[in-house]
Amino acid sequence: MSWNFETENYIVRLPISDQDGDALYQLLSQQAVVDHIPRMAMTVDAQALDELRRVAMRFEGREAAFWLIEDKNSGKLQARIGIQYINWMMLNAQLQLELSPEFPLDGLKEVLTEIKNYLFNELHLHRLETRIRTGISGLPEKLLALGFEKEGTLPSQFEYEGEDVSLDVYSIISE
């Protein structure tokens, strides 16, 4: 079973630690890409290599998988989409989206459809959820357009930059 695949316009693949550090750093050094999680953007390129090693270990432990999304035409990294907190007993996982500002909704739909099909049909997961910072604009509308439903808000989940952060929960169930 291969975790790598292609869509019409994108290559969806697991990262390669030795090769993907610069591209991942370029993506995750933009605060707008990670603000909805929320966390600080990367500030040093060595952070990307650490992240790639961490993701590889989590994949080997069957606890997470993160894909890099490359545009076939330009070769530019458009997004990193991952699943984590996989519960193999309950067949659910948490989806994490880190999207470049240029990544169009049609592209996200194309890629996420393939990822959802893989997770639901090959891994037999039943439910995907994602948690995003309350008050972030843009991403909630994209999630709703992709078939996710808003389940509610988890108030004051943690503190970030001196303020309490609430998280909105969106989910999708396999058909």
Structure tokens at 114: 């393939």
| CATH tag, 5-173 | 3.40.630.30
Mean pLDDT of 68-93: 96
Q: What is the pLDDT of residues 129-162, one digit of tens each?
A: 999 999 998 999 999 999 999 999 999 998 998 9
User: Where does the pLDDT of residue 1 fall: very low under 50, low under 70, confident under 90, or very high at 90 and above?
Assistant: low
| SS3 track for 100-125 | CCCCCHHHHHHHHHHHHHHHHHHCCC
